[in-house]
């Protein structure tokens, strides 16, 4: 091999080496460009992501701000409502206390009214009782006065020789008096007394054996009410004509007041007298009144 051959080999090698270096440099440049493009793209993506994140954060902040504002409004409204409710509750409590006070006042007034009403009712009862007692007293005095007038009138006519033996229809004359022998629906003593008063008479008063014998003939076998009683004072018997007990025809052992309420007198079928419960019922009673002239 000649020298020219040896000299051409390094040149060729050098050329190849340079070419190789150029290719490698190009590759590095391309790689650099590629890396730069990748970094640029990545940076762009990161920037876009950051911008989106910033926008999202802004939206979140705005939403949060709106929510906070709404929540603040709700809390403020709730606080106002709570204050209103507390005020209403305080007012209701005050009203309840007022109502309780008024109820206590009304109860006290009702109690006072009830006491006053009881007092008025008691006064009315006492007044009614006093009025009835006075009425009965006046009635008895009038009956007594009327009887005295009739007796005086009878004595006057008798002294002038008049015959004073006139009796109303259904009445029987004996002596100076007329007698009505009541029979029918069984009556208590007070009912029999009222029946005689309705006939302008009174339950019979007996003052002699002759009068007793006359009444015995017309007596009922079941007993007959007569006008003798001890209603006012136990043991003090009084006739309806207020005359004293100057004659009596008590049965054996009578009056015995066998029961605490035996204060009225009944004439047995035999004519004997027996004290009996005034609430007992007899279907026979005798009324008397003065005969007219």
Question: Range with the lowest mean pLDDT among 43-57, 129-143, 206-220?
Answer: 129-143
State percent of the chain over pLDDT 90.
Answer: 33
pTM over 0.75? The answer is no
- List the chain domain ranges: 164-290
**Burial of 177: CB neighbours in 10 Å, binned 0-12, 13-18, 19+:** buried
CA 149 → CA 153, 158, 243, 267, 290, distances in Å? 6, 14, 15, 29, 11
170: left (phi over 0), alpha (psi -120 to 50) or beta: left
Contacts of 259 (CB under 8 A, 6+ apart): 277
pLDDT of residue 108: 85
pLDDT of residue 61: 82
Question: Range with the lowest mean pLDDT among 76-90, 137-151, 252-266?
Answer: 137-151
Q: Which CATH architecture has domain 164-290?
A: Roll (3.10)
Residue 274 has pLDDT above 80, yes or no: yes
Residues in the chain: 293
List residues bridging with 135 in a β-sheet: none
Residue 165 has pLDDT above 70, yes or no: yes
Please give the residue that has the higher pLDDT: either 286 or 114.
286
Please give the residue that has the higher pLDDT: either 249 or 132.
249
Question: Range with the lowest mean pLDDT among 149-163, 166-180, 239-253?
Answer: 149-163
Asked if 166 and 272 count as a contact pair (C-beta separation under 8 A), the reply is: no
């Amino acid at each position: 091999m000649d020298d020219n051959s040896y000299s051409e080999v390094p040149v060729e090698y050098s050329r190849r080496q340079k070419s190789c270096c150029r290719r490698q440099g190009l590759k590095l440049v391309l790689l650099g460009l590629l890396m730069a493009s990748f970094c640029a793209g990545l940076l762009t993506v990161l920037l876009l992501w950051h911008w989106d994140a910033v926008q999202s954060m802004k939206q979140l902040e705005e939403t949060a701000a709106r929510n906070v504002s709404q929540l603040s409004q709700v809390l403020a409204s709730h606080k106002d409502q709570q204050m209103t409710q507390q005020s209403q509750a305080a007012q209701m409590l005050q009203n309840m206390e007022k109502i309780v006070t008024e109820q206590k006042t009304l109860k006290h007034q009702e109690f006072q009214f009830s006491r006053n009403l009881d007092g008025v009712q008691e006064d009315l009862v006492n007044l009614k009782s006093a009025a009835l007692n006075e009425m009965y007293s006046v009635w008895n005095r009038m009956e007594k006065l009327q009887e005295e007038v009739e007796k005086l009138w009878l004595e006057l006519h008798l002294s002038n020789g008049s015959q004073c033996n006139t009796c109303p229809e259904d009445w029987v004359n004996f002596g100076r008096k007329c007698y009505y022998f009541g029979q029918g629906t069984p009556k208590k003593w007070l009912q029999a007394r009222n029946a005689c008063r309705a006939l302008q008479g009174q339950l019979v008063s007996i003052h002699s054996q002759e009068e007793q014998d006359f009444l015995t003939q017309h007596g009922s076998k079941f007993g007959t009410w007569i006008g003798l009683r001890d209603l006012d004072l136990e043991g003090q018997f009084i006739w309806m004509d207020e005359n004293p007990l100057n004659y009596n025809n008590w049965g054996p052992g009578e009056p015995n007041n066998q029961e605490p309420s035996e204060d009225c007198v009944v004439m047995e079928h035999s004519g004997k007298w027996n004290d009996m419960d005034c609430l007992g019922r007899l279907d026979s009673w005798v009324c008397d009144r003065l005969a007219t002239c």
